[in-house]
Structure 1
Amino acid sequence: MLFFLTPSVLHSAGYATADLWVAAWGGAAFLLLMAPEEDAPHGRFAAVGFLGGSAAAAKILGLATVALPLAVVALILTLVRRSTPRRWIDVGIVGVFAGIPLAPWLGRNLLWTGNPLYPYFRPLFGGPPVGMSIARELAQNGQAGAGVLYRLLEVVLALPVRTVHPLQMAGNIGPLWLILLPVAVFLPGLRRRRSFLPLTVWLGCGLLVWGSLVQFGRFLLPVLVGGAALAGAALAALGHGRNVPVARRALMVLVVGALAWNVSTLLDPLNVGRLEVTAGVLRGDELLNRWVSYWPAARFVREKLPPHARILMVGESRSLYVERDVMVEDPYRVPELAELAARARDGAELAATLRSMGITHILVNQREMPRLAELRGAPDYWSGAGAHGRTVLHDFFVNHVQKVFGAPGVWVGKLIGTGVTPQSRTAPGGTAGSPGG
């Protein structure tokens, strides 16, 4: 319950389920690793490795937040218990079977880019250029402290800092962990339990790894699985131990208050809207129109465009609700249309190139363009096209695209030839999403 009532879990359930899968696979692997010593066949360690690898396969971040802490715990257990050749074989089995779920992803990256961990570790293993930059994301979130000592403090103090000042994107952790985890670490009765050492190692290692990365609360969920076990044990010990009654009651009031606050975070406008849809008070398309910026265009595509239409998404990296064949851009790279424009002679050649790719229409989301530019660290969305590319894009939008649907901030255009009347052309400038305005 402590884990599932964490605000990041409650919010991630609606759109970031990969983070929940990482937590599920990682938690299952840790439980198997912690099984009693006398019940330790080689098959159990194979399952530990496979589950840990599955966590990383669900989201590559799991390599840091699950696989690394799991490996540290496995090594410590091997050293603390009697270190025999059999135990080192078990550690090897964990590593081998962890690679099985990861093999397709690693192999694909190796074949396509020469870097099995692409787009990460490019300075070490190489690979094509990519707009994504962890260093830039850290700087945008205020995590790029000057000096080693300052950076170390950022890592160590990540949990209290992000409890008080959470990042966006399901970053709210809630105050419960700051209340119960210190209690769990310092309660004498818990420290004598067999599971205390591996749990604290799992938690400590995971917190340090998470603190060194982008500190989104949902990235911490795999670590909080182990934290929930410690926090729950602390809560049980406080409820039945010989503690000072006043202190115990005060702590219980804090815990209940923290849980109530966690649940109250569900009452944001989006979740209230979902409840309204469930209750029949609000129509589903009204909720989508309220929260999905490109929904009006997506609905037009679904209802009006022919089944064989192929859509190039411009200023939009998602394809949800667009029930046609789509070409979606990489939000961390220069937009596909800008790259093609930089290489084209004029708008006609750009349109011909798109037609050769099977593109029949474009869906342009102007609302997302500033955010996507910021994600790439670019001054504007069309950066990368160059002066020539911007001229080509303006020609393309004016003479080779016919707007067939428009709504505030989003529109759909059809690729056409040059014989179009001025009245049916896409208006130049910012209203069309072109770089000319």
Structure 2
Amino acid sequence: MDSNKPKELLYLCQMAILSGLMLVPLLPIGMHLSTESPLYYLFIILHLGILLYTLLGATKSVLSLLAQESTIYRVSFTSIFSLATLYIVLQALLPVTVTDALIHHIAVPNWWARENYISEIPWHNWSYYPPLIHLAITGLFELGLGNYAALYHACYLFIFCGILAHFVRWKTDENKVALITYLVALTLPIAFRLATSPLVDLPLALFFGIAFVLAIYSVEEGVSTKLILLVGMALGLAFSTKYNSLPGMLAFVFGMIVFTIRRGQSPKNVIINTATISIVALLISTAWLYRNFELTGNPIYPLFQNLFPLKHDVLSGLPDLKPIEKRMLYYGESFFDLVLIPVRMIFFGQDHQPRHFDGTLSPLLVFLFLPLLQIRKRPWIMFSFIFSGFYFVITLFEAGARIRYLTPIALPLFSLAAVGLFSFLLFIKNQRVRNISLLFLLVAHFGLAAKYCSNELKQSETLTYFTTNQTKEDYLRHKISVYPMIELVNKALPPNSKTYLVYTGNRFFYYKNEVLGGYHSGALIINSLKNGIPLEKAFREAGVTHMLAHKARLLSVLKTQLNDQEKINWDIFLARHLQTIKEDSTFILWKVNVLESI
């Protein structure tokens, strides 16, 4: 491949964009026709076909780079790649236990597929979130492939790694660096975690990565209308995927403006290109933004609710602290601790521990800081740092310090780490010492990755599930504490029941009957008592027939949030209107007798 014209890289980017564009018509089709309509099936099949074609193309192109290397290199790469792929496939085929997926990412598509219609779910704030990948998962459910939603999500990781490898190959002109970058990105613990869960973070990383690559190519190799349009399309697809894209787009556009000016473009061209990219991105997202505006009066609901008056009542949340306030108040972190968060993420991240950034990276990423020394010589590196740094700061203050939230800047960060590692190795003049250093770093990384996979296999009991007669229900009872109660709700309650879930973890996906819940799931109780609204009236208007609660959590919230009179009102409601159906050590299921009362 000519390093100055990365044709394979550009082709993969365009095919991935085309695959994403096939999802855009699904929202109006699902809203105005049906998710069972021939048009919906046509576009979802086109999307899946192009996605798989792009996946195969990305893998084949990386293997073509590998074919140029020595036998021992090919064997090592193939072995690690095969083991990583096997791990991802096995973990992705387990019954879903990931909370975010059960609350949102497969729950909403499952409801839409049940109704065969893209409907509004007024109580579920997450159902108004960018729906692009949810539309695809809805299609999987319609095709009877819903159990493979995590594998679908994993496809984006392999395409992302392929594009990343070709970008690094273009920027370093080194096959080995590109291949190492591919494997390191593929085997990051956070990559394993995301690729084995039916979420939307990997498509977000891919679309932002594509926009980043095409923006750099357009500026360095000559801006064309086609490239500018493609950048806008990629950003539009990202915007339609997850709300993290909002600060991502702001940081991206700012970084690109600085980058293009630094490369000598006139202010007029910069303004025109920036406007074109922004307009195209908004056009891609028009159907979703218009739907939200029509339903709620806010195109980006539930964000910025103070700027847009709501068209109808929703289950509002409770006041909460800002992310930085939480870290300082709950974890006792100082200003110095906050400044060191980027380094702490690299070395001390832990899964499922918000204090430790809810994710695990690799020490190899520490090399991403070295290219700062080349920022004047290589403007694309400046673009990478501006984009990544600006986004990181916004996210830290507005969303929180979680590694998963960094997916929009994954490709620039990995690229910087690759260039930094390459520069570090070139600094070592002795070839033998250089090789030993590289081997040591890679063994350390892959050793940590192997340990992570081993721990996850044990914790998730993957081999036990696939090698014994354990049923899906048995597995879920063991892994989700509320699942026996979910089964009771599904089997014992009438089909027209509506169960209010209070601090149960909101695993909406597994409920067959109608439910009501939310992020602040006790808000209906707390807000009603605080506003002097009788609970029986609030429950009746919400149509609630039953309530399932985590006893200790509910008691704790009532104790801390209510005054003495409000506690008395709750006790009266409990005695008069709640009838216990089932209770265990953790949960309680009540029948709510309010539908015939005042």
Q: What range describes the TM-score normalised by the shorter chain of this pair?
A: 0.7 to 0.9
Residue 338 of structure 1, aligned match among 508, 519, 526: 526
**When the two structures are aligned, how many residues end up with a matched partner?**
400
Matches within 5 A, 1:38-117: 38=221, 40-64=223-247, 66-84=248-266, 85-101=268-284, 103=286
Matches within 5 A, 1:23-422: 23-37=205-219, 38=221, 40-64=223-247, 66-84=248-266, 85-101=268-284, 103=286, 130-131=317-318, 133=320, 135=322, 137-142=323-328, 151=335, 153-154=336-337, 156-166=339-349, 168-169=353-354, 171-186=358-373, 195-213=380-398, 214-235=400-421, 243-244=429-430, 245-266=432-453, 267-268=455-456, 271-280=459-468, 282-316=470-504, 318=506, 319-331=508-520, 335-341=523-529, 350-351=535-536, 353-366=538-551, 368-369=553-554, 380-381=557-558, 383-416=560-593
The amino acid of 1:162's aligned partner reads M
Q: 1:254-296 CA deviation, whole Å, 9 max, x = no partner?
A: 2321232134223237753244323336443333223323211
Query: Which whole-Å CA distance do the structure 2 matches of 1:101 and 1:386 have between them?
Result: 49
The amino acid of 1:414's aligned partner reads K
1:183–1:78 distance in 2 versus 1, CA, 3 Å: closer
Contact 1:404–1:413 (Cα < 8 Å) also in 2: yes
Query: Which whole-Å CA distance do the structure 1 matches of 2:537 and 2:317 have between them?
Result: 27
Contact 2:502–2:547 (Cα < 8 Å) also in 1: yes
The amino acid of 2:444's aligned partner reads G
Contact 2:263–2:379 (Cα < 8 Å) also in 1: no
The amino acid of 1:9's aligned partner reads A
Deviation at 1:381, TM superposition (A): 4.3
Q: 1:346-400 CA deviation, whole Å, 9 max, x = no partner?
A: 6xxx446534433221111235548xxxxxxxx7246555434322322332332
Query: What is the percentage of aligned positions where both structures have the same residue?
Result: 18
Counterpart residue number, 1:433: none
1:25–1:283 distance in 2 versus 1, CA, 3 Å: same
Query: Which whole-Å CA distance do the structure 1 matches of 2:249 and 2:209 have between them?
Result: 11
What SS does structure 2 have at the residue aligned with 1:173? coil
1:280–1:62 distance in 2 versus 1, CA, 3 Å: farther
Question: Structure 1 regions of 5+ residues with no counterpart?
Answer: 371-378, 420-437
Query: Which whole-Å CA distance do the structure 1 matches of 2:578 and 2:502 have between them?
Result: 13
Query: Which whole-Å CA distance do the structure 2 matches of 1:279 and 1:113 have between them?
Result: 49
Deviation at 1:122, TM superposition (A): 6.6
TM-score (norm 2): 0.57
Q: 1:167-225 CA deviation, whole Å, 9 max, x = no partner?
A: 62562333334443244555x7x986674443344344444444545211111222222
Query: Which whole-Å CA distance do the structure 1 matches of 2:495 and 2:488 have between them?
Result: 12
Query: Which whole-Å CA distance do the structure 1 matches of 2:224 and 2:592 have between them?
Result: 63
The amino acid of 1:365's aligned partner reads H
Query: Which whole-Å CA distance do the structure 2 matches of 1:146 and 1:306 have between them?
Result: 49
Counterpart residue number, 1:3: 185
The amino acid of 2:264's aligned partner reads R
Deviation at 1:345, TM superposition (A): 7.5
Question: Structure 2 regions of 5+ residues with no counterpart?
Answer: 1-182
Aligned residues: CA RMSD: 4.0
Q: 1:65-92 CA deviation, whole Å, 9 max, x = no partner?
A: x213311232023202332333431111
What SS does structure 2 have at the residue aligned with 1:93? helix
Contact 1:203–1:223 (Cα < 8 Å) also in 2: yes
Contact 2:369–2:416 (Cα < 8 Å) also in 1: no
Query: Which whole-Å CA distance do the structure 1 matches of 2:594 and 2:365 have between them?
Result: 63
What SS does structure 2 have at the residue aligned with 1:303? helix
1:41–1:209 distance in 2 versus 1, CA, 3 Å: same
Contact 2:369–2:420 (Cα < 8 Å) also in 1: no
Query: Which whole-Å CA distance do the structure 2 matches of 1:316 and 1:413 have between them?
Result: 14
